[in-house]
Amino acid sequence: MPGFEIFGAEEKAQVMEVLESGVLFRYEFAAQRKGVWKVLEFERAFAAYTGAAHAQAVTSGTAALKVALAALGVGEGDEVITQGFTFVATWEAILDCGAVPVFAEVDLTLNMDPADLEKKITPRTKAIIPVHMMGAQARIEAIKAIADRHGIPVIEDTAQAAGGRLHGRHLGTFGAVGTFSFDAVKTMTTGEGGMCITSDETLWRRMSEYQDHGHDHLPNPGGRGGESRSFVGFNFRMMEIQGAIGLAQLAKLDGIVAAQQKNKAFFREAVSVLPGVQFREILDEAGDSATFLTFFLPDAARTTAVNRVLREAGAGAVRWSENGWHYYPNWEHLLEGKTYCHGGWPFSVGGKRRVVYDPQALPASAAIMERALTYQVPILLPDEQKTKIAAALKKAAAV
């Protein structure tokens, strides 16, 4: 990861077809575009690849979450449960809909703990968003069973797990909607971009129309359709150049995952020299997209000492407990309710605070995260880099 490591002739050829047509907009201009409909083709190819009935391309993974939430009717006064270890986009999209994010603990999968999820459900819970964080499977079957018992739809945040599977089934196909990101650092990339997948035609229609200002798409999703609108929408349209790159990258995705799995095996073997090391729980190794290798050390002090040596050797690991983009206690703008909006929206309405978050609210997650270190797994891993990393880990093992 990410897919830009292997940009090549395939991406260039796809993009040139768009430039030669002269049409960058994904809808209309049928006479000028010479049969080139790259976004529509990408949607159909992605749906076929994942086994979903429908796919809707959008401008980002964040937009995909917003479009999915809107299609499910989530809004002001609702609660949406997600996890306290995720990228900020997950809860930003919830807040942007007017709903309130509720955070569940993670377990040793580093994904949502189903037991804590059930404790967080209230009559106001209108959706659940588990995250297949760092490319590995959440306990989606257990989460879906809990959600079904309560009649709550599940949106799978699969932003970091394109190409991942659980027991042969693609991640993103278990819930009502699966959302994906194709930004610059994702396993497959279109620079920016995202996708929603679903097997519910009604939800797909809503997503298709919402991301295009609510335009009626009933006659022809490729050609946009009529000029009536049944609800207010917004503009989250993917453009043709992104769709073109997506087609080329999608064709490489299984090869990308295979390369990452091979390189992840190297990292696991190299990390195994550390005394007391424990690895992240992966529910299905064969279906792991293998974008990251995460391991735990016995305590916070040991984790700090080991990573100090690794950093000094130029092979430092990511320590998520120090990260401000992905870890609940470090989201100061969420915890402090920071916003430019007059009146304090979305944290306050009419001067009254809607929600206050406690930085100590997820103690089980904190106990896990302070012991965790992560290596991002590249698609290309030169031998000299392997040698450097292995040497650094052997040095750290002696600390």
Asked if 189 and 258 count as a contact pair (C-beta separation under 8 A), the reply is no
Asked if 130 and 111 count as a contact pair (C-beta separation under 8 A), the reply is yes
Q: Which residue has the tokens 């037991």?
A: 115
Q: Please tell me the CATH code under which domain 254-326+362-397 is placed.
A: 3.90.1150.10
**pLDDT greater than 80 at residue 339:** yes
pLDDT digits (tens, 9 = 90+) for 17-62: 999 999 999 998 989 998 999 999 999 999 999 999 999 999 999 9
- Does the annotation mark 186 as catalytic? yes
CA end-to-end span of the chain = 30
Catalytic residue among 38, 126, 186, 264: 186
**pLDDT greater than 60 at residue 221:** no
Question: Which segments of the chain belong to CATH 3.40.640.10?
Answer: 3-252
Q: Whole-angstrom Cα distance, residue 203 to residue 55?
A: 10
Q: Whole-angstrom Cα distance, residue 164 to residue 286?
A: 9
Cβ neighbours, 10 Å, residue 190:
31
User: Cα–chain-centroid distance for residue 395?
Assistant: 34
Asked if 368 and 106 count as a contact pair (C-beta separation under 8 A), the reply is yes
Q: Please tell me the CATH code under which domain 3-252 is placed.
A: 3.40.640.10
Give the pLDDT of residue 228: 76
pLDDT digits (tens, 9 = 90+) for 71-110: 999 999 999 999 999 999 999 999 999 999 999 999 999 9
Q: Whole-angstrom Cα distance, residue 281 to residue 296?
A: 11
Phi, psi of 296 (to 5 degrees): -120, 145
Q: Whole-angstrom Cα distance, residue 293 to residue 372?
A: 10
Question: Which segments of the chain belong to CATH 3.90.1150.10?
Answer: 254-326+362-397
